[in-house]
Amino acid sequence: MGSNGLRLPQFRRFGTRLLLLIVALVAVAQCADYVLVRTANRRNAIGRINENLRQGTLLFTRRVDARLDELSGRAALMSDDYSIRQLFLKDQPDPATVRSALDSYKVRMGVPFMALLWPNGARIGDTGGPLPAAALRPFQDLVKVAEVADDSRAKGFARLPPEGPSGKLYSLLVVPIYAPPPEIVAWIGLALPIDHAFAKLLKADAQLEVTFYYGSTSDMLPVESTLQEGIARSSAPPTSNDGIMTVDVGGESYVTAYRPLLPLITPGRAAIALQRSLEEELISSRQLERFLLILLIASLVAAALVAPVFALNLSKPLRALARHTEVIARGDYAIHLRLDRADEIGQLATAFNRMSEGLAERDRVRDLLDKNVSPEVAAQLMRDGGALGGEEREVTILFVDLRSFTRLSESMAPREVLTLLNRYFDRMSGIVEIYHGIVDKYIGDAIMAIFGAPVEQSGHADNAVLAAIEMKSALARLNAELATEGRAKLSFGIGINTSRIIAGNIGSSRRLNYSVVGDGVNVAARLQDLTRMSQFSADILISAATLRAMRGRYRVRDLGAAPVRGRDEPVEVFSVEGAE
């Protein structure tokens, strides 16, 4: 992530991250679950309501048709009735008799209003009752429809007087009176109110709220409803609508199906609205949703409780491993990590333990090596292995040898001799190492040191000479110590030569020594021999080659040429008195 990218809060502790991860995953999964279920519930509820509404509108149509069909059947019985025909045997039916007859039929058929019309629609008589004579107009309109209908019947909806809020919607039916069929001598008109009882009946059957509307195209008012007046008024059908939609009434969603009441004989617009509250439909689903919500919270809590334990279970051994690593880094390989686990972390701990064993083994080898060879040689051996071979290189060889030590040692116990010698070697060897040289070997009471191998260094001549000067000081300090101990003092001579020699591991494949081979080694040894000669009376003698290789400034005395054993040519000898 770039620094300009989204910055997420960084949690250093693994446990915290794991906790957050698990809780987040659980939260996302559960929330998605909840949202999906909620959405699906709502969709299903709307689907169910839609289906109910479709069934409801069918039911309404069937109910209205069935009611009218039944009435139509009864009216047919009436129209074929002998007594009705009797009325028409007179030139003009007697109005009072017609009224009485219709009243009788009204009761027999269970309708609130009946009218008898001539074939041309003119009034013969009616039952009166709730409808005034003006209510006949829609029947007359229906007669015109019935005249041309195959079954000589017509039906429709009408809003009948009185005008105003007390006016009602009616189902109208017109059937013929035959004398005999197909001769129509009169029409019977019937009106069935679409009243509250009918709305309640529909509601009981369809389990839907039922509202009937009537009004102009733009403004429709509820005339009957199973809903509260206000709700019914708020969900009045929109202009010229026929379909299903969700209407928001007082914050509650009602899925509503509108269906126009057709044919409508009187002017205006009439419609039935079937409704169901979405909330009511969702009641059973809400329980599931509440349960899911509880489940969501419970899983979050469970995740929050379990995750830290799990994280701790993981991070604790990791921290132990980290601590163990630090212990190993400090070089302590003795401590073993103890984790009783079979998983990857357990495998890691086992691998760590093996590693520390391996490291301990290597250290032991290294330690031994260090004590037997110089650290540089040991490092090279560790690095390159014990390969035989060598390389030619310029080095400075230093020989230091105790004078008269054999004679001195004769007056001491062997153990004392070894102790003293080791004490002396310890000081001198330390100085060699300080100046980046290596102790090539101890030859009796002599030390052979090499500067410039196995690690190549530019100032090997200076290092050798400085080491020699330092050795002199160290010897003085050692002698002071010896004097306080009441012992005889020591003296030595140092020969230094710089030369190209062969450096490498010398020996058999079973036993090797890192050393140098070449004439230059002998020259250094001979120079050391020369320090004993009185004509030189010097502790540090160097060759001309060393003098040339030196870069620092020293107090050097030219002692002239001196013959050396094993060489035909005399060697130029210089004494180093000290550093400037």
Partner 1 sequence: MRRVTTLILLAASASALRAAGTVRVVTKDPTGLAVPDAVAYVVALDAPVPVQPPAEPVAITQHDQMFDPYVTPVVVGTSVVFPNRDNVQHHVYSVSPAKKFEIPLYKGESTAAIVFDHPGPVTLGCNIHDWMVAYVFVLSTPYFAKTGADGAADITGLPPGRYRLEVWHPRLAGKVGRELTIAESGDTTQVVSVTLRPDRRIRRAPDGGSSDYK
The footprint of partner 1 (CB under 8 A) covers 80, 82, 85, 88-91, 148, 150, 152, 178-183, 185
Instruction: State which amino acid sits at residue 491.
Output: S
CB of 138 to partner 1, least distance (A): 24
CB nearer partner 1, residue 185 or residue 296:
185
Question: How far is Cα 95 from Cα 98, in angstroms, rounded to an integer?
Answer: 5
CB of 120 to partner 1, least distance (A): 13
| H or E, element range at 200 | helix 196-206
SS3 annotation, 294-340: HHHHHHHHHHHHHHHHHHHHHHHHHHHHHHHHHHHHCCCCCCCCCCC
CB of 82 to partner 1, least distance (A): 5
**Bridge partners (DSSP) listed for residue 92:** none
Question: How far is Cα 375 from Cα 367, in angstroms, rounded to an integer?
Answer: 9
CB nearer partner 1, residue 147 or residue 195:
147
CB nearer partner 1, residue 176 or residue 459:
176
Beta-strand (E) ranges in 373-478?
A: 389-402, 437-443, 446-451
What are the CA-CA distances from residue 338 to residues 27, 201, 324, 335, 360 (Å)?
37, 82, 10, 9, 18
CB nearer partner 1, residue 187 or residue 213:
187
Instruction: State which amino acid sits at residue 420.
Output: L
CB 447 within 8 A of CB 430: no
CB 89 within 8 A of CB 62: no
Question: How far is Cα 575 from Cα 554, in angstroms, rounded to an integer?
Answer: 10
CB nearer partner 1, residue 117 or residue 272:
117
CB nearer partner 1, residue 150 or residue 485:
150
CB of 80 to partner 1, least distance (A): 6
CB nearer partner 1, residue 118 or residue 442:
118
Question: How far is Cα 87 from Cα 91, in angstroms, rounded to an integer?
Answer: 9
CB of 104 to partner 1, least distance (A): 18
CB 143 within 8 A of CB 156: no
Instruction: State which amino acid sits at residue 307.
Output: A
Q: What is the DSSP letter of 492?
A: E
Instruction: State which amino acid sits at residue 265.
Output: I
**Bridge partners (DSSP) listed for residue 174:** 154, 189
CB of 154 to partner 1, least distance (A): 15
Question: How far is Cα 428 from Cα 435, in angstroms, rounded to an integer?
Answer: 11
CB nearer partner 1, residue 85 or residue 441:
85
CB of 187 to partner 1, least distance (A): 14
CB nearer partner 1, residue 58 or residue 122:
122
CB nearer partner 1, residue 185 or residue 488:
185
CB nearer partner 1, residue 21 or residue 185:
185
CB of 109 to partner 1, least distance (A): 19
CB of 78 to partner 1, least distance (A): 13
Q: Angle CA(327)–CA(328)–CA(330) in degrees, nearest 5?
A: 65
Q: Which residues of 113-136 are buried (b: 16+ CB within 10 A; e: fewer)?
A: bbbbbeeebebbbbbeebbeeebb
Report the sign of the C-alpha dihedral through residues 507, 512, 513, 515, in that order.
positive
CB of 132 to partner 1, least distance (A): 29
Backbone φ and ψ of 533, nearest 5° = -80, 135
List all residues 6 or more positions away from 448 whose beta carbon is below 8 Å from its beta carbon: 397, 398, 399, 439, 440, 441, 442, 521, 525
Instruction: State which amino acid sits at residue 521.
Output: V
CB nearer partner 1, residue 179 or residue 446:
179
CB of 119 to partner 1, least distance (A): 11
CB nearer partner 1, residue 34 or residue 88:
88
CB of 89 to partner 1, least distance (A): 5
CB of 85 to partner 1, least distance (A): 6
